């Protein structure tokens, strides 16, 4: 039986298994399973839990209360408009041959790096520049709702 009071030392840090597990964002049993599977001590005590790694990777996708960020919601909607023929607006995007570039379609992080965060003052939407056939770097821009409505009126004329 494993003793939770056993001290483990790595570098200049000495702690109980409970303290090491808490610092990695995992349970004591999870850390013991690493030892059972014969992980080297250094790897077992320094590799964050898979859950924590996923949280770090997806930190920009969710707000503190668990909802999707506006940027993630925009990416998801643009992806569906361009590739899902069941989306209500597919006929205006994917149905007209507008596609999302593969780099964006497979990576929200790449999309966010190219488009940037939504401005905080006022109401903003992510709009496609006129005449674009592929949604990718340089094709989308943050514009105000008023500007979006103006573009719609001009397109109807």
Asked whether residue 40 is domain-assigned, the answer is yes
**Could you read off the pLDDT tens digit of each residue along the chain, which spans 157 residues?**
466 677 878 788 888 888 888 877 778 888 888 888 888 888 888 776 666 655 555 556 666 666 778 888 889 899 999 998 888 988 988 999 999 999 998 888 888 888 888 887 888 998 888 888 898 898 888 999 999 898 877 766 6
> Does a structural domain hold residue 81?
yes
Q: What is the pTM of this model?
A: 0.58
pLDDT at 60: 62
Same-domain pairing of 149 and 91 = yes
- Residue 74 and residue 51 in one domain: no
Q: Are residues 25 and 94 in the same domain?
A: no
Q: How far apart are CA 131 and CA 42, in angstroms?
A: 55
**Which of 19, 34, 57 is the last residue in one of the domains?**
57
pLDDT for residue 144: 92
76 and 108, same structural domain? Answer: yes
**Residue 84 falls inside a structural domain:** yes
Both 50 and 85 in one domain: the answer is no
Quick check: is 44 in a domain?
yes
Asked whether residue 87 is domain-assigned, the answer is yes
In the block, tokens 């999302």 appear at 100
For 24, the domain range is 7-57
CA distance 101 to 115: 13
Residue 98 lies in a domain: yes
Examine the domain organization and report whether 28 and 84 are in the same domain: no
Q: Are residues 96 and 133 in the same domain?
A: yes
Q: How many CB atoms lie within 10 A of CB 3?
A: 8
pLDDT at residue 100, as a whole number: 92
**What is the pLDDT, as a whole number, of residue 119?**
86
Q: Are residues 117 and 74 in the same domain?
A: yes
For the stretch 24-69, pLDDT in tens is 777 888 888 888 888 888 888 877 666 665 555 555 666 666 677 8
Count Cβ atoms within 10 A of the Cβ of residue 114 and give its class: 0-12 exposed, 13-18 middle, 19 or more buried.
Answer: middle
């Amino acid at each position: 039986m494993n003793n939770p009071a056993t001290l483990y030392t790595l570098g200049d840090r000495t702690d109980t298994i409970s303290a090491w597990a808490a610092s990695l964002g995992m349970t004591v049993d999870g850390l013991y399973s690493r030892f059972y599977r014969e992980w080297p001590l250094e790897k077992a005590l320094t590799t964050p839990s898979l859950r924590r790694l996923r949280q770090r990777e997806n930190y920009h996708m969710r707000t503190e209360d668990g909802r999707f960020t506006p940027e993630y919601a925009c990416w998801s909607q643009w992806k569906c408009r361009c590739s899902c023929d069941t989306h209500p607006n597919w006929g205006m995007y994917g149905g007209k041959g507008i596609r999302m570039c593969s780099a964006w379609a497979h990576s929200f992080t790449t999309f966010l790096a190219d488009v940037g965060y939504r401005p905080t003052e006022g109401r903003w939407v992510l709009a496609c520049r006129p005449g674009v056939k592929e949604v990718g770097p340089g094709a989308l821009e943050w514009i105000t709702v008023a500007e979006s409505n103006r573009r719609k009126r001009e397109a109807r004329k």
